[in-house]
Amino acid sequence: MPIVYGMNHASAPLAVRERVAFPEHQIVDAVARLRRTTGVEEALILSTCNRTELIVSMPPEEASGTLARFLARERPITEEELERHCYLYADEEAVRHVFRTAASLDSMVVGEAQILGQVKEAYALAGRAGSLGAVLDSLCRRAFVVAKRVRSETGIARNPVSIARAAVGLARDIFGGLEDRTVLIVGAGKMARLAARHLIDQGVRTVVVANRSFQRADELARDLGGRAVPFDRVFEEMERADIVIASTAAPHTVIQRDDAQRLSRARRGRPIFFIDIAVPRDVDPTVNEVDNVYLYDLDDLQGVVRANLDGRRQEVRSAEAIVELETAAFLAWTKSLHVAPTIVELRRRLHDIAGQELARFHGRFGPLTTSQEEVIRQMTESLVNKLLHPPTLALKRAAALNEGGLRVKLIREIFGIDPPAPAPVPETGGQGVVEPVETPEPTHKEHR
């Protein structure tokens, strides 16, 4: 069963979260190191602006220490700090957490659409790393189905909110309106693009985009009807801007306290507002100490987030009910995996015995017509099904009660069945739904 070890916006402040974040381009190699150094066969790393989680398949009693040591080696953080801020979910709790995360119920902004795409991207990266097996592959694919159910069967995605939208909402609250304001966007990635589009929706007429890749800045600016500037002119543009939204993928701060001090002098008392939605942060938090410079980061968006949640509480309850049903169904399915191979082997064993006995007595019957052969075949099939019915039900009941292992061992010993091979990875249906491994149901119809 799966294990989830990590931290999110509820368990750790931004100053801690940014130190354990993995840039997307490093994740495949990090997953490979996670498997190599810890011995886990299945592993996935989910790293977003508000969470970093290691999702693995391993014994729970070994998980906390092993995964903390891995993170402490990989990122600039100690095991003691990880112990204070990380959570560990195992088995049922882990399944529920992954489903809630994909459905955006564990997000800072409940109902936001970005997290599902981020989980899918983490799944794809784990696939590239070759670290998906039966447990995590089926768990993730089912999580995608759960997220789709939540979004289609509840109103949680109505009037969708995102971190970027919340940031723009904060800017609107600060100024009371954005129509006459000049906004500088530093960065041209997904979050910057989302923020830019929300700004246009709020009536902003002057948008300037700066990015290390001028081509990407120019593409975004053209889409918005704004203008792009080279990154080396970013501070010159800040002298004219009212709001700076920072969202680069830089591994370190790009706007320092000294920059803010020079900016404050150049603006001659005119205030400037920074909204930093990057992880790691783009803006040194000490710029808040500079006169007329105001900084808001992800943790400061909590007020906007709470207002968003207040209007969605009934939808959240409906979504949580779906997650609970899906969690129970997934756990029942995983338990059935332990007994399914035995049921298949038992059916094969009984058919083999029936076939051998029919062959042994076939000569005593004399010549048989085709219809007589068919009657004997149907009679044999009916007999096998009737014999299979009680042990099949017993194994399924035992699996539901976590007693399947003992019953499986007993039945295999009685019928001389070899130990089972590892369960195969489940196949997906046409819509990405995990198709459970079928346990054969006996046919109760008798042929006469």
Active site residues: 49
Identify the bridge partners of residue 283 per DSSP, sorted by sequence position: 255
Closest CA to 13 of 75, 77, 85, 93: 85
CB-based burial label for 127 (10 Å; 0-12, 13-18, 19+): middle
Q: How far is CA 308 from CA 59, 169, 287, 326, 419, in A?
A: 38, 11, 29, 26, 54
Closest CA to 167 of 58, 86, 276, 261: 276
What's the one-letter identity of residue 72?
Answer: A
The Cα–Cα gap between 444 and 252 comes to 67
The Cα–Cα gap between 303 and 327 comes to 31
Whether residue 272 contacts residue 244, with contact meaning beta carbons closer than 8 Å, is answered with yes
Whether residue 442 contacts residue 386, with contact meaning beta carbons closer than 8 Å, is answered with yes
Which strands form 206-211's sheet, in the order they lie side by side?
Answer: 227-230, 206-211, 182-186, 243-246, 272-276, 293-296
Encoding tokens for residue 4? Answer: 């989830």
CB-based burial label for 438 (10 Å; 0-12, 13-18, 19+): exposed
Whether residue 209 contacts residue 226, with contact meaning beta carbons closer than 8 Å, is answered with yes
Residue with tokens 């920072």: 246
Helices (H), 75-180: 79-85, 92-102, 114-128, 134-153, 163-175
What's the one-letter identity of residue 29?
Answer: D
φ and ψ at 207, to 5 degrees?
A: -125, 130
Q: What is the DSSP secondary structure assignment for residue 245, as one 8-state letter?
A: E
User: Roughly how many angstroms between the first and final C-alpha of the chain, as a whole number?
Assistant: 46
Identify the bridge partners of residue 244 per DSSP, sorted by sequence position: 184, 274
Encoding tokens for residue 86? Answer: 């990380």
Query: Is 164 in a helix, a strand, or coil?
Result: helix
